[in-house]
Structure 1
């Protein structure tokens, strides 16, 4: 009987450790590990769900508003950092290009934080609302 290698043992332990911490992702596996992906939905489909579900609809609407905050933060972060860097470096590929990408990432993060506090997302279970929407969409489309 061959024993597992040193690296195999550590890999299994690491996989188990992170699997426990990201176990919430299992909520989505029945939607992501399908033979046929769910058909695309439109904004009107989401609005229809929001109107039809009095429990999870408002939560999903708030989560969508939070995404708008994050997108605006991303644009503002990207433009301002790239503009500031362009003013002082005039290096498109290194200075302004990299600062544009970094500003977008940081702006997205700050936008999410602002949304979290101003919309009080910490009080809502946005994942449950998203899963309920996907279940609703799956039932509406017949599981295609």
Structure 2
């Protein structure tokens, strides 16, 4: 019996390592942020004025970051419209409180996703490297907080 446990553990461990490697490759872009997230002392929060200062001071990445922040507004509006409309239709036709709550959540997720797609095309985000701009902002913020600017 102990022999079977060691074989099954190695089988599970082998598959776990495979899954970990598979998903690690697909989410490798998260390594861009690890130096800001996995710190001994976390970076303090920034304000809207700090973001505007970066946008004004950075001629390449500033406008891209500003556009990415505008895209977030599309997502928020889409999520709000999706949540309210689906919950309203559900309540009108079913008068089910739990169904309305579920449709509110699902409508918010679907609406946010649709809003992000609209923003992607409307603001032409597919032409920009928004992740590089976000990383540059984080580097700028880190340097400013640590007094290196």
Q: Where does residue 36 of structure 1 map in the other structure? A: 41
1:68 matched to 2:73? The reply is: yes
Find the counterpart in structure 2 of residue 115 from structure 1: 119
CA RMSD after TM alignment: 1.3
Determine whether 1:127 maps to 2:131. Answer: yes
Task: Tell me the distance in 1 between the aligned counterparts of 2:117 and 2:86.
Answer: 19
Partner of 1:89: 94
Deviations, residues 32-59 of structure 1 (Å, cap 9, x unaligned): 0001110000111100000000000000
Instruction: State the structure with more CA Rg.
Output: 2
Query: Runs (4+) of structure 1 moved beyond 6 Å?
Result: none
State the distance in 1 between where 2:53 and 2:63 align. 12
Alpha-carbon distance in structure 2 between the residues aligned to 1:85 and 1:95: 7
Q: State the TM-score, normalized to the length of structure 1.
A: 0.95
Shift in Å, 1:74: 0.2
Could you tell me how far 1:91 is from its partner in structure 2?
Answer: 1.1
Query: Gapped runs of 5+ residues in structure 2?
Result: 1-5
Give unpaired runs (5+ residues) of structure 1: none
Counterpart selection for 1:138 from 134, 137, 142: 142
Which residue number in structure 2 is paired with residue 23 of structure 1?
A: 28
> What whole-Å deviation, never above 9, does each CA across 1:79-113 have from its counterpart, x for those lacking one?
00000000011111x21100000000000000000
Distance in 2 of aligned mates of 1:17 and 1:40: 33
9, 12, 21: which one aligns with 1:7 = 12
Q: How many residues align?
A: 141
Distance in 1, matches of 2:59 and 2:120, equals 21
